[in-house]
């Protein structure tokens, strides 16, 4: 499986449908993009994924770090 967003081969199955293997969700371990196999080819096919949203190694290295969410107050 190749990540549609960054073309990485470092992907895994995240979860499968609990009944009947109807869908599978994949995740990219490089850019953290996730997608379901039942989505359109514009999302699942790296060649048809919008060039506007594509990432490469240089862009990934320069992304800002998202701050952690603080714990909920009790």
- How confident is the model at residue 46, as a pLDDT? 96
pLDDT band at 68 (very low <50, low <70, confident <90, very high): confident
Pairwise CA distance, residues 60 & 58, whole Å:
5
pLDDT band at 62 (very low <50, low <70, confident <90, very high): confident
Token pair of 3 as six digits: 């990540």
Residue 32, domain member (yes or no): yes
Residue 35, domain member (yes or no): yes
Residue 50, domain member (yes or no): yes
- How confident is the model at residue 67, as a pLDDT? 83
Residue 4, domain member (yes or no): no
Domain span holding position 18: 11-61
Count of domains observed in the chain: 1
| 7-55 residue pLDDT tens | 999 999 999 999 988 999 999 999 999 999 999 999 999 999 999 999 9
Residue pair 25/35 in contact (Cβ under 8 Å)? The answer is: yes
- How confident is the model at residue 5, as a pLDDT? 97
Residue 23, domain member (yes or no): yes
Residue 5, domain member (yes or no): no
Residue 41, domain member (yes or no): yes
Residue 22, domain member (yes or no): yes
């Amino acid at each position: 499986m190749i990540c549609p967003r960054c073309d990485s081969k470092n992907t895994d199955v995240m979860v499968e449908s609990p009944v009947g293997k109807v869908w599978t969700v994949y995740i990219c371990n490089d850019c953290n993009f996730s997608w379901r196999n039942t989505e359109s080819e514009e999302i699942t096919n790296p060649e048809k994924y919008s060039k506007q949203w594509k990432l490469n190694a240089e862009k990934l290295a320069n992304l800002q770090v998202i701050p952690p969410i603080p714990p909920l107050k009790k």
